[in-house]
Amino acid sequence: MIISFSNVVPAFLAGTTALKSEVWGADFSLPAGKSVLVKAQSGKGKTTFLSYLFGSRTGYNGKIAFDDKDIAGLSTDSWSDLRREKVSMVIQDLRLFENLTVRENLEAKLKLNGQVPFAVAQKMLQALGLGEFMDRECRTLSLGQQQRVAIVRSLCQPFKWLLMDEPFSHLDEQNTAIAMQLIKERCAANGAGYIISSLGSEHHTHYDIVLNL
Amino acid sequence: MNFRKLFLKHTRTWQLMLVSIGAFAGLFLLWLPVQIYVDITDALAKQKDLISNQYFIVNKGVSLVNTLGFSSGGFTTEEMLKLKAKPFIKDMSAFTPNRFGVGAAAHLKEKVDVYTEIFLESVPDRFIDQMPPEWHWSPRSSYVPVILPAEYLDLYNFDFAPGQGLPQISQGAAKLFPFELLVRDGTDSVHAYPAHIAAFTERINTILVPQSFVDYNNEEYAIKPYEAPSKLIVEVSDPAAFSKYVDSTGIKTNSDYLRTGKVQSLSKRLLLLIMVLTGLVVFLSIGSFILFSNLLVARSEYEIRTLVLLGYRYQQVGGTIFRFFAWLVGGATIAAVLLGLLARYFVLKYLSSIVDVPSLLPGLEALGCLLLLATAYLAITYNSIMRQTKRIALPF
């Protein structure tokens, strides 16, 4: 699935030139299966950029297309289908169900289309050092642990693009490296690409495309 | 989806109990009065012949004008035709009174003969409730059958006889008692007819003899000219309407019986009032139910949006929430039916002492009402939940 941007500017910035960047107001494409880093300081619109691609925000001028299909006209149902099959995301505020256990949080995703076995999720969780926390309520976990649960959850479904909004902001280097490894493995298995937004760090990874916001 | 953990975490048990009881009360209060209304209507319809077709005796009442002799107080032909034309009058006839002199004489025991002046009347046979088999008379008949009001015998047995030290007489014994009707034409001649009591009636409060007897003697021995009839007997199909008519005109009737008709229409009106109040309760119950579902969805905005972002369709999420309310309404409906049946059983048990009750199976009308209301709950709730979840699912 090719993502293409054509002269996209957030509506609230339209008419100003202040935010002209490699993303806003530019024409570019992100070919299928590529790794992309979106680098910017705080407040430059990293979350906005990813939210447009995830359909959780609208309100921009210009055109964003998936495989030449304009995403502006997609219905809520089409977006649900896309999120279930093609686009997964680690949202910056994680959006876990705090009163549900880690297992229940993962099951909410696993049961949606049943294509990823529970054992795979369990293995990823163990790799990230959370094997023993399966039946703990998420609110009892630290922010870093919650971030790892959110990353694993985003990998528990088929996808063509994985969007991650500062996914490692609360992780140490070791856990970041393990998470990055898992992400690359799942993306390779799915034939998918990923987009990571970051304040600057490249997480010791080589990216096919780097966009400066 | 773990519904309880996801959507009920903001809800207290007592709130849930309250809204369930509200739904139950709405359904229960709608169903039961409708059912009982149908029951009563059925019961009354069954008794239509008994209650509705009542016989009344009407007269014009007595005023000072009658006493002074200026007016006879009789019904003119025009008045009778007008009354007969009313839709609630099924049948009507005038009483024919004797216009000859008449007395009753009896031989009680040796040397004790009694005689009293009496009056006789006749009505067409179809108005007589206790028709004796020998109810006919011709000049060649050996005796005259007489029908007396049962009240007369009661008056004798319970008021007169005890005071006079006389024995009480049963209806059977009274029928065996022979006496004579002595008819006079104003001259010295007296025509004696052997007579006996043929039956007692509860319906007509007068001394009845066969129509042919009155007609024959009026023809032969009248001492008074014909007068407009002062009493009519009417068969009424709708006592309530008749009662209204009687009230609006100057005529009088044996109105004790009419009160049942008035009570009937009053109790129907009272039931109607209860149903209006019930409607209000039902309305409030639906209102609180919808408010509760709205509140639940509003409080679960985070969960709903998160599920949608995970890839759930808003209809799936809304459907899960709706299913919970469907169970709630279903439970409330079943509880309302079961408790209603129980309550109805006791009401019918009480009613059975007054009227014949219909079967214990609930009628389709009331159950239909109940299902309609339950469906209304569900439809309104479904609509409201889906609208809200869709709004939450939309991008910012």
Q: Which of A79, A104, A157 to mutate to test the interface with B (most CBs of B within 10 A)?
A: A79
Asked if A155 is an interface residue toward chain B (Cβ–Cβ < 8 A), one would say no
Residue in B with minimal Cα distance to A87? B311
How far is residue B221's CA from residue A134's CA, in Å, rounded to a whole number?
A: 118
- Residue A16 pLDDT exceeds 70: no
Please report the pLDDT score of residue B51 as a whole number. 46
Q: Which of A50, A97, A101, A156 to mutate to test the interface with B (most CBs of B within 10 A)?
A: A97
End-to-end CA distance of chain B: 25
Using a CB-CB cut-off of 8 Å, the residues of chain A touching B306 are 95, 97
pLDDT in tens, B289-340: 889 999 999 999 999 999 999 999 999 999 999 999 999 999 999 998 888 8
Residue in B with minimal Cα distance to A55? B395
Cβ–Cβ under 8 Å, residues B360 and B336: no
Using a CB-CB cut-off of 8 Å, the residues of chain A touching B315 are 77
Concatenated DSSP letters of B13-71: HHHHHHHHHHHHHHHHHHHHHHHHHHHHHHHHHHTIIIIISEEEEEE----HHHHTTS-
B370: three-class secondary structure by DSSP: helix
pLDDT in tens, B111-155: 778 888 899 999 998 888 778 888 989 988 889 999 998 888 888
Element (H, E) at B109: strand B101-109
Asked if A103 is an interface residue toward chain B (Cβ–Cβ < 8 A), one would say no
Residue in B with minimal Cα distance to A53? B395
pLDDT in tens, A151-210: 999 999 999 999 999 999 999 999 999 999 999 999 999 999 999 999 988 888 899 999
Chain B: closest CA distance from residue A145 (Å): 19
Q: How confident is the model at residue A211 (pLDDT cuts 50, 70, 90)?
A: very high
Task: Give how far the C-alpha of residue A78 lies from the chain's centroid of Cα atoms, to the nearest Å.
Answer: 18
Please report the pLDDT score of residue A17 as a whole number. 63
Q: How confident is the model at residue B262 (pLDDT cuts 50, 70, 90)?
A: low
Task: Give how far the C-alpha of residue B105 lies from the chain's centroid of Cα atoms, to the nearest Å.
Answer: 44
Please report the pLDDT score of residue B49 as a whole number. 46
Looking at chain A, which runs of residues are DSSP E strands?
3-10, 27-30, 35-39, 60-66, 69-70, 87-90, 161-165, 193-198, 209-212
Q: Please tell me which of the candidates A80, A89, A153 has its beta carbon nearest to residue B312.
A: A80
Chain A: closest CA distance from residue B37 (Å): 49
How far is residue B6's CA from residue A150's CA, in Å, rounded to a whole number?
A: 17
- Residue A137 pLDDT exceeds 50: yes
Q: How confident is the model at residue A6 (pLDDT cuts 50, 70, 90)?
A: very high
Is the ipTM here above 0.90? yes
Give every CB contact of residue B170 below 8 A, 6+ residues apart in sequence.
Answer: none
How far is residue A81's CA from residue A69's CA, in Å, rounded to a whole number?
A: 15
Asked if A134 is an interface residue toward chain B (Cβ–Cβ < 8 A), one would say no
Residue in B with minimal Cα distance to A56? B395
Give every CB contact of residue B360 below 8 A, 6+ residues apart in sequence.
Answer: B344, B345, B348
Please report the pLDDT score of residue B50 as a whole number. 47
Percent of chain B with pLDDT over 90: 21
